[in-house]
Amino acid sequence: MTLFRSSSSSSLFLVFVLVLLAGTSSSAHLLSENFYCRKCPQVFNAVKSVVEDAVAKEQRLGASILRLFFHDCFIDGCDGSLLLDDTSTFKGEKTAAANKNSVRGFEVIDAIKSKVEALCPGVVSCADILAIASRDAVVILGGPFWDVKLGRRDSRTANFTAANTGVIPPPTSNLSTLISNFKSHGLDVKDLVALSGSHTIGQARCTSFRGHIYNDTDIDPSFAKLRQKNCPRQNGTGDNNLAPLDLQTPTHFENNYYKNLINKKGLLHSDQELFNGGSTDSLVKAYSQNNKAFASDFVTGMIKMGNILPLTGSKGEIRKNCRRVN
């Protein structure tokens, strides 16, 4: 997102943000931690069991599920639109630039939906399943627990254009772009830094960090050389080779991510931007020294992100299959 170049563009942006925040608050207050207490009390055990099995088979899936939630919420709100396949009437978000050959874990959501539908047909939305599964993935990998607010309904369409045009900040983003992007979704600087801590788990493709390890100067030289061994300089060569986002503990959720940034060992350009002489340096330092503070602010950020423009009441639908509308 670019800086404003005129008073008229600033005004338009302000109106957009105010509309977004108004929509967020008016819908989000309808979400409740007790939404399924009577309708489907078994939903939590059902979701957890499937996520546990999936992560036991492949630990990386924990991070993948969490990333699905982030990429879903940033495109028109947390409405399960990312889960939709292409149809004859709309193009889904899965093949957009931010998602193609990148987002994964859809089969886990499918398995959860099948299990939940067998218990409570037509009751639990795919959007809520993704929210619960994200929490469980974090907990299973050693992160904090929180009560998930529920009551979202599923969208009947997707927004390929938004997903393809930078609404989800790319790994090449600078700090001002990251701050502006998160602000446009009703998230502040603390949310940005805390939610970026999700990169304490998971892996990234060479194509996402190639520029950082070959062209940037805000990176530890020995770390850059280590990553260059499995990520060739030439585009199109080794693009899908993987490296852990957290150099130390890529399958355990804690604050080592921030310690890496202080040592200039952030894998992505956008990661290292959080600790590069800018306004977020102090937060990175604080989280690197206090895992409890990070966990607490991460939970706050996840709840706020989960409140982005949910469909509630009679809006949307409860999909029977998360990949297609009813």
Helix (H) or strand (E) holding 203: strand 203-205
Map residue 116 onto helix, strand or coil.
helix
CB atoms within 10 A of CB 18: 10
Q: How far apart are CA 138 and CA 295, in angstroms?
A: 11
Active-site annotation holder among 29, 71, 199, 269: 71
71 catalytic, yes or no?
yes
Map residue 16 onto helix, strand or coil.
helix
Q: How far apart are CA 284 and CA 286, in angstroms?
A: 5
Lookup: tokens for 238: 């080794």
Dihedrals phi, psi of 317, to nearest 5 degrees: -155, 175
Lookup: tokens for 317: 């639908």
How far CA 310 is from CA of 94, 147, 161, 303, in Å, comes to 20, 17, 20, 12
Residues labelled catalytic: 71
